[in-house]
Amino acid sequence: MSKAVRFDEYGGTDVLEVRDVPVPVPAAGEVLVRVRAAGINPGEAKIREGQAHERWPATFPSGQGSDLAGVVESTGGDVSGFAPGDEVLGYTYARAAQATYATVPAGQLVPKPPELAFDIAGSLFIAGTTAYAAVRAVAPGEGETVVVAGAAGGVGVVAVQLARRHGARVIGLASERHHEWLRAHGVEPLVYGEGVAERIRETAGPRGVAAFIDLVGDGYVALALDLGVAPERVDTVVDFAAAEKYGVRADGGMAADDAPTISALADLVARGELDIPIAARYPLDEVRAAYTELGRGHTRGKIVLLP
Ligand SMILES: NC(=O)c1ccc[n+]([C@@H]2O[C@H](COP(=O)([O-])OP(=O)(O)OC[C@H]3O[C@@H](n4cnc5c(N)ncnc54)[C@H](OP(=O)(O)O)[C@@H]3O)[C@@H](O)[C@H]2O)c1
């Protein structure tokens, strides 16, 4: 048997259960993975709460989770390049990662570099591809100033580092307790809240802000435009209404959900050039506690389930 997260109705973390289910059988083109780590994301909580029903409805009983890393158990027909025992990371769109076993299309898996720890590998997909897409969308140039709102969250920690790799100056909006981590990663941290526009203007100096990445919502798109950022250099992964209203970009994870991007991110971490802090690790049975912590909204980096 496999253990898997399930829920039968929309609701709070208390609808989440871990159940015994049959080990899934890989179809042609699929790989059966013994999952070692599955990162959790706010989008899954929005789906489970029913907030995303219009865009991404659930069917019940629903499984949960996209991000995963683990070890190949077996392969279906027509799979080359993977064999039992291989360490892999990747993603599923079947809401199935939070389980001891998951079947995954072979094209959505890549080899895990040996230097990359399972917990980070299993947390890389959604946060990594979203950060990659958002940074690519605003195309930071050498010496330009980029503001990242939500700089210390799962997506933020990756986005600030990728923007720095473009040679940009990065201003990261985050609570005080993340500032030391941000400074250590070459980011100029500022607290958000009242007066943030003034603080950004002062810190950015006469050249102003060239690009803005919004990972929070809450009026940041309008703030970016007030700061004089051109609409095509503002990207939000949260506020789709503002994107529509102001004509700014809304590239998120789906704009970069491919194996080469995951491989590139995995290699950066393996080489020590990208740091993904793991805020907390939970056994699969404590899935409710994991989402309760994520729901507080002040995570630094990623929270990961270890099935
Ligand atoms: N469109 C997509 O493809 C896509 C993909 C992934 C995620 N998302 C969305 O992007 C958002 C961020 O995801 P995540 O995984 O990074 O979440 P997360 O790990 O929970 O991080 C959220 C961060 O937001 C910060 N924050 C909260 N209120 C803030 C404010 N008013 N101003 C600035 N920062 C604030 C918190 O920082 P402090 O601790 O500093 O308060 C926290 O670190 C979520 O809404 C998620 O659903 C969209």
pLDDT band for position 104 (cuts 50, 70, 90): very high
The predicted-structure confidence for 62-92, as pLDDT tens digits, reads as follows: 999 999 999 999 999 999 999 999 999 999 9
pLDDT at 191: 98
* DSSP string across 181-216: HHHHTTEEEE--STTHHHHHHHHH-TT---EEEESS
**Residue range 207-211: average pLDDT?**
98
Task: Please state the pTM of the whole predicted model.
Answer: 0.98
154 lines ligand 1 (CB under 6 A): yes
Q: Any idea where the domains of the chain sit in the sequence?
A: 2-124+276-306, 127-254
pLDDT at 106: 98
Closest CA to 26 of 115, 137, 105, 138: 105
Distance (Å, whole) CA 158 – CA 162: 6
Whole-number average pLDDT of the chain: 98
pLDDT at 29: 98
pLDDT at 236: 98
Neighbours of 277 (CB within 10 A): 16
Asked if 2-124+276-306 and 127-254 have one fold, the answer is: yes
Distance (Å, whole) CA 65 – CA 74: 21
Q: How many percent of the chain have pLDDT more than 70?
A: 100
What is the whole-number distance in angstroms between the Cα of residue 149 and the centre of ligand 1?
Answer: 8
pLDDT at 28: 98
**Residue range 101-121: average pLDDT?**
98
Classify 149 as helix, strand or coil: strand
Judge if the upstream peptide bond of residue 26 is cis by omega within 30 degrees of 0.
Answer: no
**Residue range 247-266: average pLDDT?**
97
Q: Which helix (H) or strand (E) holds 71?
A: strand 67-75
pLDDT band for position 252 (cuts 50, 70, 90): very high
Q: Point out the ligand 1 atom lying closest to the alpha carbon of residue 178.
A: 40
Distance (Å, whole) CA 129 – CA 52: 20
pLDDT at 7: 98
CATH architecture of 127-254: Alpha-Beta Complex (3.90)
The predicted-structure confidence for 16-49, as pLDDT tens digits, reads as follows: 999 999 999 999 999 999 999 999 999 999 999 9
pLDDT at 230: 98
pLDDT at 199: 98
Q: Which single residue is written with the structure tokens 């989402």?
A: 291
**Residue range 212-240: average pLDDT?**
98
Q: How many percent of the chain have pLDDT more than 90?
A: 100
The predicted-structure confidence for 156-165, as pLDDT tens digits, reads as follows: 999 999 999 9
pLDDT at 271: 98
**Residue range 206-235: average pLDDT?**
98
pLDDT at 127: 98
pLDDT band for position 298 (cuts 50, 70, 90): very high
CATH architecture of 2-124+276-306: Alpha-Beta Complex (3.90)
What is the whole-number distance in angstroms between the Cα of residue 252 and the centre of ligand 1?
Answer: 13
CB 146 within 8 A of CB 168: yes
What is the whole-number distance in angstroms between the Cα of residue 54 and the centre of ligand 1?
Answer: 21
182 lines ligand 1 (CB under 6 A): no
Candidates 237, 257, 258, 304: which one to mutate for ligand 1, based on the most atoms within 8 Å of Cβ? Answer: 237
Q: Point out the ligand 1 atom lying closest to the alpha carbon of residue 127.
A: 6
What is the whole-number distance in angstroms between the Cα of residue 35 and the centre of ligand 1?
Answer: 26
238 lines ligand 1 (CB under 6 A): yes
